[in-house]
Amino acid sequence: MSVAQSEFIAELTHKIPELRPLLDSHMADNGGELLHHAFLGEVALWLAGLYSRAGHSHEALLLANRVVTFLEEAFIRGDESVRELIAVSFVENLPSTGELGASMRKLLGPALEEVFRRVNW
């Protein structure tokens, strides 16, 4: 368990409080333990679902953009363990072309878009 990853998850859920119920559910399902990779994978699936179910409502787009912007910035400034966490557990869990929610990929900044291209090549 990386201290940097724990701090990243704490900052993510602090700055994006809409993720707090997802974290609470994750912790309850895992005996009070935070599984960094599993949780960030859940964030990717939650975000894709929100984006596709909301019909691209203004509020859903704003929330999706806040999450992706935070992750882009964290990827750029984070240490290797945080970058790996975001790449493997968030980006790799995003919907591919043709899947429900795939259009949310347009929200990715240049760093995460590059990761997406590499893992989906």
What pLDDT score does 19 carry? Answer: 97
Q: What is the pLDDT of residues 4-42, one digit of tens each?
A: 999 999 999 999 999 999 999 999 999 999 999 999 999
Using the predicted structure, report yes or no on whether residue 1 has a pLDDT greater than 80: no
Write the pLDDT tens digit of every residue in 34-67: 999 999 999 999 998 888 776 668 888 889 999 9
Q: Mean pLDDT across the stretch 77-90?
A: 96
DSSP per position, 16-84: -GGGHHHHHHHHHHTTT---HHHHHHHHHHHHHHHHHHTTT-HHHHHHHHHHHHHHHHHHHHS-HHHHH
The Cα 61–Cα 7 span in angstroms is: 26
